[in-house]
């Protein structure tokens, strides 16, 4: 493995998902390991300590959230992305609280996997001393120069600093909507409202897109 190559684990019980992600990531120059269940995923993490692990939320032998918690213990530098066909705003926020750096919903466009890996690898080179507001400001500067990969990386770095603040979710939704990805935009807008029911920009976005607002907490 060369200095420029990263090692990525794909853990999913669906063979087609493993094959598709492997092809996309290997074509981008990454070294890819695959696992069909949670036990195999943890064994590979112990042995190879991947830079990124894409982990299905529902797998045989061990659920994705449990795999996530074990990976955080045995390979803390591995960035874990949860894959789910059962994604809701609360599940996504809960995964972030448990240490996931991102999530992706099935079905997905394989092209976004390589972009997501690029974002995460960029994030791993950021210093760990920035605050939520520091990263939010860097994201704004990146958006102004149309550096979209960097902008998303900064927003997700901000999100990792404080999962309870809605601004990072809102701007990720705003960017997804600008890219024409309405489904992802809605997920992030709902996550913003789940984090803070007083997030007016996110509530307005959901109304504008014709979606029902969650009831405000008293």
Q: Are 42 and 71 in contact (CB under 8 A)?
A: yes
Cα separation, 62 vs 28, in Å, equals: 29
Q: Which residues contact 13 (CB under 8 A, 6 or more apart)?
A: 36, 37, 56, 58, 59, 60
Bridge-based pairing state of the strands 31-35 and 52-56: unpaired
- Highest average pLDDT, of 32-36, 66-70, 100-104, 197-201, comes from 32-36
Mean pLDDT of the region 82-106 = 76
Mean pLDDT of the region 94-101 = 81
Looking at the predicted structure, is the pLDDT value of residue 142 above 60? yes
pLDDT tens digit string along 43-65?
A: 999 999 999 999 988 888 887 78
Domains annotated for the chain, with CATH where assigned, are 1-117 (3.40.50.2300), 126-213 (1.25.40.10)
Q: Which residues contact 47 (CB under 8 A, 6 or more apart)?
A: none
Cα separation, 10 vs 100, in Å, equals: 14
Bridge-based pairing state of the strands 52-56 and 79-84: parallel
- Helix or strand or coil: residue 35? strand
Per-residue confidence at 218, pLDDT binned at 50, 70, 90? very low
CA 43, 75, 118, 29 dihedral sign is negative
Looking at the predicted structure, is the pLDDT value of residue 174 above 80? yes
Q: Report phi then psi at 31, rounded to 5.
A: -90, 125
pTM above 0.95, yes or no: no
Cα separation, 155 vs 153, in Å, equals: 5
* DSSP string computed for 83-105: EESS--HHHHHHHHHTT-SEEEE
Q: Kindly provide the residue ranges of all beta strands, DSSP E only, lying in the chain, ordered along the sequence.
A: 7-11, 31-35, 52-56, 79-84, 102-105
Q: In the prediction, which pLDDT does 203 show?
A: 93
* DSSP string computed for 114-142: HHHHHHHHHHHTS-S---HHHHHHHHHHH
pLDDT tens digit string along 101-139?
A: 888 888 888 888 888 888 888 877 776 678 899 999 989
């Amino acid at each position: 493995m060369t200095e420029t190559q990263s090692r990525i684990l794909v853990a999913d019980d669906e063979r087609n998902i493993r094959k598709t992600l492997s092809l996309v990531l290997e074509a981008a120059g990454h070294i890819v390991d695959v696992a069909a269940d949670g036990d195999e995923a943890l064994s590979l993490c112990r042995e190879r300590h991947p830079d990124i692990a894409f982990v299905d939320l529902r797998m045989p032998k061990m659920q994705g959230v449990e795999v996530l918690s074990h990976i955080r213990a045995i390979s803390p530098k591995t960035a874990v992305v949860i894959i789910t066909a059962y994604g809701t705003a609360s599940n996504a926020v809960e995964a972030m609280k448990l240490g996931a750096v991102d999530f992706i919903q099935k079905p997905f466009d394989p092209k976004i996997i390589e972009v997501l890996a690029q974002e995460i690898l960029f994030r791993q080179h950021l210093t760990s001393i920035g605050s939520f507001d520091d990263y939010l400001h860097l994201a704004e500067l990146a958006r102004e120069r149309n550096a979209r990969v960097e902008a998303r990386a900064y927003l997700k770095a901000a999100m990792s600093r404080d999962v309870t603040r809605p601004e990072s979710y809102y701007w990720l939704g705003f960017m997804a909507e600008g890219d024409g990805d309405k489904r992802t935009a809605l997920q992030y807008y709902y996550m913003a409202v789940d984090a803070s029911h007083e997030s007016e920009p996110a509530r307005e976005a959901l109304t504008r897109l014709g979606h029902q607002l969650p009831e405000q907490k008293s």
